[in-house]
Chains A and B, each alone.
Chain A
Amino acid sequence: AQSVTQPDIHITVSEGASLELRCNYSYGATPYLFWYVQSPGQGLQLLLKYFSGDTLVQGIKGFEAEFKRSQSSFNLRKPSVHWSDAAEYFCAVGTNNAGNMLTFGGGTRLMVKP
């Protein structure tokens, strides 16, 4: 079965600073990888996804993520954080096995200092 680890439960960055949120997955084949964002009191919104091809994927709100097979990682990055980016971020892995389920990591809560 697949699994997802987000090592950082909380991260605080200053507005304008760069951001990297870590995600490691465990799965035997090439997974489908997703990053979702959850703003306070809201549901989850997709930031970006990777299925195949170029390992650097661009998403909404200026986010990007890079798939590194050798490290089983799919880290999310943003060059300059805005106060509105404060939220909880979830990495998820999906497979083409029976069930086609998404498995989510535990989430990383991002706080942005003015």
Chain B
Amino acid sequence: DADVTQTPRNRITKTGKRIMLECSQTKGHDRMYWYRQDPGLGLRLIYYSFDVKDINKGEISDGYSVSRQAQAKFSLSLESAIPNQTALYFCATSTSVTETQYFGPGTRLLVL
């Protein structure tokens, strides 16, 4: 079984809809991250969490919110989706900045 899983893997939604992307991990890591990937821009950090009670905004948090339901679960929400949120979204986990970040397989989101 994969260490970091993301659901759904693909999603099409309409402008203005609320959508949630979910991430679960079995690695026992405290740190979890949400990134979005756009062609030519690499990965940009949306939110990160060092533990259940510690959630921080990343580089591009506007229009997004997160919830850390447990050590193993970190969800990303788009309260009112807009077309420029069409992207590939990745969840990742790690134990510290010097340690490897382990990535999920990604969620491809299309906002019409």
Contact = CB atoms under 8 A, between A and B. Distances in A.
Interface of A: 4, 6, 9, 32, 34, 36, 41-46, 49, 51, 90, 92, 94-96, 99-107
Contacts of A41: 105
A53 to B, nearest CB: 13
16 contacts: A36-B103, A41-B105, A42-B105, A43-B4, A43-B90, A43-B104, A43-B106, A44-B90, A44-B103, A90-B43, A94-B98, A99-B48, A101-B45, A102-B45, A104-B44, A107-B42
A107 B38 CA distance: 10
Contacts of A34: 100
Contacts, number: 59
Given A9-B40, A42-B105, A43-B106, 19 more contacts: A4-B42, A6-B42, A36-B103, A42-B106, A43-B104, A44-B90, A46-B100, A90-B42, A94-B98, A95-B97, A96-B97, A101-B48, A101-B97, A102-B33, A102-B45, A102-B101, A103-B45, A104-B42, A105-B42
